[in-house]
Amino acid sequence: MQNVTILSRMEITTYPKLNQPEKVMMITYIAAGLPPHTLHIPSKQHSKELEKKLIKNDIMTRLKDRPETYMV
């Protein structure tokens, strides 16, 4: 388990198809050792449980991807 801070939770309107608005929740969070990151969840599907699950999966994926470092 990892401590996560939600920096913002905002609902926006997007237009994935012309003249078809879709509400999307933008959740920006930070976790130890990672820069802030924003997830997009369709408002119709959004719940705290889904949000937590997606954040957990996102953190695990991001921790697997280590930045590349080298000397120049």
Kindly report, residue by residue over 29-70, the tens digit of the pLDDT.
999 989 999 999 999 999 999 999 999 999 999 988 877 889
pTM (two decimals): 0.83
Residue 21 has pLDDT above 80, yes or no: yes
Taking CA atoms, 42 is separated from 12, 39, 46, in Å, by 10, 10, 6
pLDDT at 16 over 90: no
Q: What is the dihedral of CA 64, 49, 47, 56, to 10 degrees?
A: -10
